[in-house]
Amino acid sequence: MKKNNKICKEMSKIETKIWQDQVEGRNSVIELLESGRDINKIFVQDGEKHGSINKIIAIARDKKILISEVSKEKINQMAQTENHQGIIAIVPPFDYCEVEDILLEANTRQEEPFIVILDGIEDPHNLGSIIRTAETAGVHGIIIPKRRAASVNATVNKVSAGAVEHMKVARVNNLVETMKYLKQQGLWICGTDMETKTYYYDQDLKGSLAIVIGSEGFGMSRLVKENCDFLVKIPMKGKITSLNASVSAGIVMYEAMKQRN
């Protein structure tokens, strides 16, 4: 009996590993299909043959992607988010890029680099929201640390509404060393910190720029903060003295976009 329990536990680990790289929800799967990224298989809930599901099935068949119909119970077991909408796509692990690829993207667009650096964002919902806003604001790429931070998963993809398929994301071992490298490439590093005196709209955010957003509740780490070229803050007039990380990121990103345009 103990041996059987051990086997079950091992099988559970394998199944979790198999299904961890997936995209859920109709809009996210449509964005995935249109992005051209590799898809291993698409699971559709039995009976879900209306609305945008038909569009997904048609595109998938045209691309010769395997489609499998499964029961509601099975798709609920597979789902990593609460709102899969009867559709799950299984994909290879997210293809992170190099920092150089982000700079190349800016060069290809004939624009000055516009990058967002996330210092320890742990909530995948925040990461997904930031990616979604960054994509709409014209950001060329996002840099995240490999340790003690959220990575791109099904939740991030869902919250980003598929924007992650159009955004370059680099994972690095050392944020400070990466910041120093970006400075060598001509970028200015702007940190967000409530203790500074400069408001974000009073700071020049034009030109080659990287904006650093600190972690939820703790802000930027000491070394990251010390290696920023300048710091900005968002004015607070209510009783709450901080904003959600994704909201703060959006405010500063759009100010930079406005100035750059």
Query: What are the φ and ψ backbone dihedral angles of 195, each rounded to 5 degrees?
Result: -85, -10
Structural domains present in the chain: 2-90 (3.30.1330.30), 99-260 (3.40.1280.10)
| pLDDT digit string, tens, across residues 153-185 | 878 888 888 888 899 999 999 999 999 999 999
Half-sphere exposure of 211 (CA within 13 A, CB side): 31
| Tokens found for residue 84 | 């899969």
**What pLDDT is recorded for position 246?**
93
Quick one: pLDDT at residue 88?
Answer: 92
CA–CA separation, 32 and 151 (whole Å): 18
Q: What's the CA gap between 178 and 183, in Å, rounded? A: 9
Q: What is the mean pLDDT of each run of 10 residues along the chain (261 residues)?
A: 44 39 87 84 84 89 91 89 87 89 97 97 94 97 93 85 90 97 98 94 97 90 96 88 88 96 86
Structure tokens, 94: 């997210």
CB 66 within 8 A of CB 99: no
- Burial of 238: CB neighbours in 10 Å, binned 0-12, 13-18, 19+: exposed
Q: Is 159 exposed, middle or buried (0-12, 13-18, 19+ CB in 10 A)?
A: buried
Determine the pLDDT at residue 110: 96
pLDDT of residue 108: 97
State the pTM of this model.
0.75
Q: What are phi and psi of 107, to 5 degrees?
A: -65, -40
Q: Tokens at residue 10, please?
A: 């091992």
β-bridge pairing 141-145 and 114-119: parallel
Tokens of 43: 């699971």
Residue 172: predicted pLDDT = 96
What pLDDT was estimated at residue 34?
86
